[in-house]
Structure 1
Amino acid sequence: MLSNLLNLIFSLFIFSSFNLNANETKHVIAIGAPTIDFLLDVDESFLDSIKGEKGGCEVVDWPTFKSIVHENRSFLRRYATGGSSANTIKGLASLGLEASFFGRIGNDDLGEFFFNRLLEIGVTPELIRTEKPTQQVACLITPDCQRTMRCFLGATLEFSDHDIIPEIFEGKHLVHIEGYALRHEGLVKKAFSLAKEKGLKTSFDLGAHELAREYKDSLMKEILPSVDVLFANQDEAFALTGLDPKEACEELQKMVDTVVILIGKDGCFVGSKGTTSHFGTTPAEMVDSTGAGDLFASGFIYGYLKGLSHQESAQIGNLLGGAVVEEVGAEISDERWERLLHKIRSLESLPALAGK
Structure 2
Amino acid sequence: MTDTPYDVLAIGNAIVDVISSASDAFITDQKLVKGGMDLIDAERAVGLYEAMGPGKQVSGGAAANTLSGLAMLGAKCSFIGQVADDELGKFYAHDLRAAGVDFAVPPGAEDAPTGRCLILVTPDGERTMNTFLGASHYLPASAISDDAVSNARILFLEGYMWDPPEPRAAMRQAIEIARKARTEIAFGTCADFCVRTHREDFRKLIDDNMIDILFANEEEAGILEDSDPEAAIETLARDVPLLVITRGPRGAIAIQDGKRYEVAALPTSVVDTTGAGDLFAAGFLAGRVKGESIDRCLQMGAIVAAEIVSHFGARPEKNLQRLMDE
Normalising by the residue count of structure 2, what TM-score does the alignment of the two structures yield? 0.91
Deviation of the 1:98 alpha carbon: 0.7
Q: Which amino acid aligns with 1:264?
A: G
**Counterpart residue number, 2:90:** 112
2:291 to 307, 324, 334: 307
2:221 to 219, 237, 246: 237
**What is the number of equivalent residue pairs in this alignment?**
319
Deviation per CA, 1:183-218, whole angstroms, max 9, x where unpaired?
133333222121111221111111110001110011
Please tell me whether the aligned partners of residues 7 and 289 of structure 2 are also in contact (alpha carbons under 8 angstroms): no
1:321 aligns with 2:299: no
Deviation of the 1:87 alpha carbon: 0.3
Query: Which shows bigger deviation, 312-321 or 47-56?
Result: 47-56
**CA distance, structure 2, for counterparts of residue 292 and residue 285 of structure 1:** 13
Listed as ranges, the gaps of 5+ residues in structure 2 are none
Q: 1:195 to 1:69 in 2, by over 3 A?
A: same
1:199 aligns with 2:182: yes
1:87 aligns with 2:87: no
1:330 to 305, 314, 319: 314
1:1-356 correspondence runs (5 A): 24=3, 27-50=7-30, 53-70=33-50, 72-73=51-52, 75-130=53-108, 131-184=111-164, 185-222=168-205, 225-333=209-317, 336-337=318-319, 340-346=320-326
Q: 1:342 to 1:129 in 2, by over 3 A?
A: same
Percent of pairs with identical residues: 31
**CA distance, structure 2, for counterparts of residue 267 and residue 216 of structure 1:** 25
Q: Secondary structure at the match of 2:151?
A: coil
Find the structure with the greater CA-based Rg.
1
**CA distance, structure 1, for counterparts of residue 184 and residue 280 of structure 2:** 18
Deviation of the 1:240 alpha carbon: 1.4
Please tell me whether the aligned partners of residues 111 and 134 of structure 1 are also in contact (alpha carbons under 8 angstroms): yes
**CA distance, structure 1, for counterparts of residue 129 and residue 261 of structure 2:** 31
Deviation per CA, 1:235-293, whole angstroms, max 9, x where unpaired?
22222123444332221123211111111111012111222232111111111001111
Please tell me whether the aligned partners of residues 72 and 321 of structure 2 are also in contact (alpha carbons under 8 angstroms): no
**CA distance, structure 2, for counterparts of residue 107 and residue 294 of structure 1:** 27
Q: Secondary structure at the match of 2:81?
A: strand
Deviation of the 1:296 alpha carbon: 0.5
**CA distance, structure 2, for counterparts of residue 24 and residue 269 of structure 1:** 29
- Higher RCO (C-alpha 8 Å, min separation 6): 2
**Counterpart residue number, 1:6:** none
Q: 1:242 to 1:144 in 2, by over 3 A?
A: farther
Listed as ranges, the gaps of 5+ residues in structure 1 are 1-21, 347-356
Please tell me whether the aligned partners of residues 40 and 77 of structure 1 are also in contact (alpha carbons under 8 angstroms): yes
Q: Secondary structure at the match of 2:156?
A: strand
Deviation per CA, 1:311-333, whole angstroms, max 9, x where unpaired?
10010001000001111110112
Alpha-carbon RMSD across the aligned residues, in angstroms, is 1.9
Normalising by the residue count of structure 1, what TM-score does the alignment of the two structures yield? 0.84
**CA distance, structure 2, for counterparts of residue 307 and residue 320 of structure 1:** 18
